[in-house]
Structure 1
Amino acid sequence: MKKIIVVASVLLIGSMATGCEDKTSVEWYMSHHEDMFAKYTECLVNHNFIPTDCQNSRSAMNREHDKPDVIEGLKAARKKAIQVNIGGE
């Protein structure tokens, strides 16, 4: 019984220490552009915007579309997708 309590306590403390911030929300991607670009590019290359994190990265890109780094990130994502799709990765 002591082992169960110790293990449960460690898991509880570990989950509290890591935080509960959803790292795939639209708002999170809007605050973390590099991660937004990476996820958006991955989804664009894979032709798959069905997963929630892909939808959220695309929504964040759309909301942030007027920022210079987002404009460049979108260009880079499109360029990478074209390279991969024509086999020139």
Structure 2
Amino acid sequence: LLGTYVDAIMKLNAKGAKQDAKEVIDNFAYHLNEGCIGSVSEIFDADAPHHPRGCVAQAWGVAEVLRVMMDYELYETGKKESKSKKAAAEA
């Protein structure tokens, strides 16, 4: 449901949507480095601290994280954009 949640953020919160969606993905990133590294667990507890449960690796969970990162460009490339290119993109 993470992908659907990010889709809803992007559709309902126009002004700060991208930053809010990026925050959701960034907060989830810790999980990619624990347990079955690079994978997403099947389910999580609803209450904090949201422990992972079920099977340790779900391909469609990983796919949803990657999909929203790509669809909404919620990733960093490592390249710094020049100020002129950034200004042109925002115009």
Verify same fold: TM over 0.5.
no
- Between Structure 1 and Structure 2, which shows a larger proportion of strand residues? 2
Q: Greater Rg, structure 1 or structure 2?
A: 1
Q: TM-score, normalised by structure 1?
A: 0.31
Q: Which has the higher contact order (CA 8 A, sep 6+)?
A: 1
- Between Structure 1 and Structure 2, which shows a larger proportion of helix residues? 1
